[in-house]
């Protein structure tokens, strides 16, 4: 089963680069993850087809609201760490994701 991960940031630009980095890391590990990036304005359009929502650290103020939107579902909401986000370190982001899932 493929895991569908949605990265959310202000405009979708920085998270777009992070998504590419995470896809490369997932492929190296043989993981079947579909990772895409969208702006926070588009979030509701993609909720149905998403298992995990990872939020850019600069949008931490949205975390509670997004968790409320997905409450009652099995969807996970993860606030990305500024350290790996700033470096666009997909491997560390993937490790963070997996630690939450396990």
Domains and their CATH numbers in the chain: 3-101 (3.40.50.2300)
Strands 76-79 and 33-39: unpaired
3-class SS at 78? strand
What's the mean pLDDT in 33-59?
93
Cα 76 from Cα 63, distance rounded (Å): 11
- pLDDT tens, residue by residue, 58-76: 999 999 999 999 999 999 9
3-class SS at 99? helix
- pTM for the predicted model, two decimal places: 0.94
Are the C-beta atoms of 40 and 10 separated by less than 8 Å?
yes
């Amino acid at each position: 089963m493929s895991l569908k991960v949605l990265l959310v940031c202000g405009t979708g630009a920085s998270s777009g680069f992070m998504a590419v980095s995470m896809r490369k890391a997932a492929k190296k590990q043989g993981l079947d993850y579909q990772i895409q990036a969208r702006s926070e304005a588009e979030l509701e359009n993609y909720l149905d087809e998403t298992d995990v929502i990872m939020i850019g650290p600069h949008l931490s103020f949205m975390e509670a609201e997004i968790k409320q939107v997905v409450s009652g579902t099995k969807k996970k909401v993860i606030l990305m760490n500024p350290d790996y986000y700033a470096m666009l370190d997909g491997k560390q982001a993937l490790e963070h994701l997996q630690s939450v899932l396990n």
